[in-house]
Amino acid sequence: MSKILYMSKILITGGAGFIGSNLVDELIKRGHKVCVIDNLSTGKKEYLNSKAKFYKIDICSSAIDKIFKREKFDYVFHLAAQMDVRISVAKPELDNKINVLGAINVLRNCRDCKVKKIIFSSTGGAIYGEAKSIPTSENYPAEPISPYGIHKLTFEKYLNYYYQVYGQKYVALRLANVYGPRQYRGGEAGVASIFIDNLVNNKSSLVNGDGKQTRDYVYVDDVARALVAAMKTGYVGVINIGTAKEIDLWKIIKCIEKSTGQKFNYKNMPAKLGEQRRSSLSYNRAKKILKWRPKVYLEEGVKKTIAWSKNK
């Protein structure tokens, strides 16, 4: 059994957020010591596991240097981000500040404090742009059509630079559209949870465009498993995490209606700038390197998310 399967000191940036808090729970369950950095701009303190050590701080702050030096982390999971494609289109400077400059601040500390590996939560669909090959593999040219995708790709390049020049090991997981319990309402990637939460609370939803745009929806527990697996692998580079299935908005709506027995109410709106038409990710590399494959598919994931929305 690998030594890192035993207790490690781990930092999760954005650990009070949707994916981050689920990852915190998974790592603590496996016996690791976990610290969280989060400015709570979108994260929620009540999502934090009581066994995690919490620092309320922004990743852009120079004060994180002291935290790195004090805690001496073995591994760092970098999830803190500006996560909304639409905000990145409206405010590209803000997106760059958080998703590039803030991320570099974390990466520099990883190098300076000799962190064994940094695992970065990147984006799948937004990096590949309007791919002609679907499901899309990691070898497909990265041609993002939003500042969000551009900045995620930019930081991937910085990770490779730090590896080539300084030997800082990393894995960048290019995540598909993650959904599930604790997801925030707002942001393109949150559409499944937005629709579920609105229906549970008898609110109307917005369907942008013709509703035939497709995404690859991967459940948050599957993503947490992939992140943990990335910590254990010796591989350095990028790996897609998705289901290889294209799902449009109407299929999500039909699945939610079937699971709740309720009629979905919506208003049709124009398509949004910077949004792709189609997206689905191949997970062949994840299957080979991480021994990972998705276990929770849409119908089950929707039911789990509905149950959480009703009880939160």
Tokens 């990466």: give the residue.
107
Count CA within 13 A, CB hemisphere, residue 180.
23
For range 135-154, the mean pLDDT: 95
Give helix then strand counts, H and E, for the chain.
Answer: 12, 13
| Number of domains forming the structure of the chain | 1
* Per-residue model confidence (pLDDT) at position 85: 83
What is the tens place of the pLDDT at every residue in 31-73? 999 999 999 998 999 999 999 999 999 999 999 999 999 999 9
Q: How far is CA 31 from CA 10, 22, 208, 229, in A?
A: 11, 15, 43, 15
Provide the Cα torsion 282, 303, 31, 121; round to 10°: 40
Residue 140 structural domain: 8-180+219-244+282-294
* Domain membership flag for residue 109: yes
Task: Give 249-258 pLDDT, tens digit per residue.
Answer: 999 999 999 9
Give me the pLDDT at residue 184, please.
62
Q: Coil, strand or helix: which one is 199?
A: helix
**CATH code at 46?**
3.40.50.720
Q: Provide the whole-model pTM.
A: 0.93
Burial 214-246 (b: 16+ CB within 10 A, else e): bbbbbbbbbbbbbbbbbbebeebebbbbbbbbb
Does residue 3 fall inside a structural domain? no
Distance from the Cα of residue 164 to its chain's centroid: 25
Decide if 50 is inside a domain.
Answer: yes
Report, as an integer, the average pLDDT of 102-112: 98
Q: What is the pLDDT of residue 5?
A: 52
Q: Is residue 250 part of a domain?
A: no
Q: Known catalytic residues?
A: 148
Whether residue 84 has pLDDT greater than 90: no
103 in a structural domain: yes
pLDDT above 60: residue 218? yes
Q: Indicate whether 249 belongs to any domain.
A: no
Cβ atoms of residues 138 and 211 within 8 Å: no
- DSSP line for 270-283: PPPTT--S---B--
* Distance between CA atoms of residues 224 and 25, nearest Å: 9
In a domain, 192, yes or no: no
Q: Average pLDDT of the chain?
A: 92
Query: Is 252 a domain residue?
Result: no
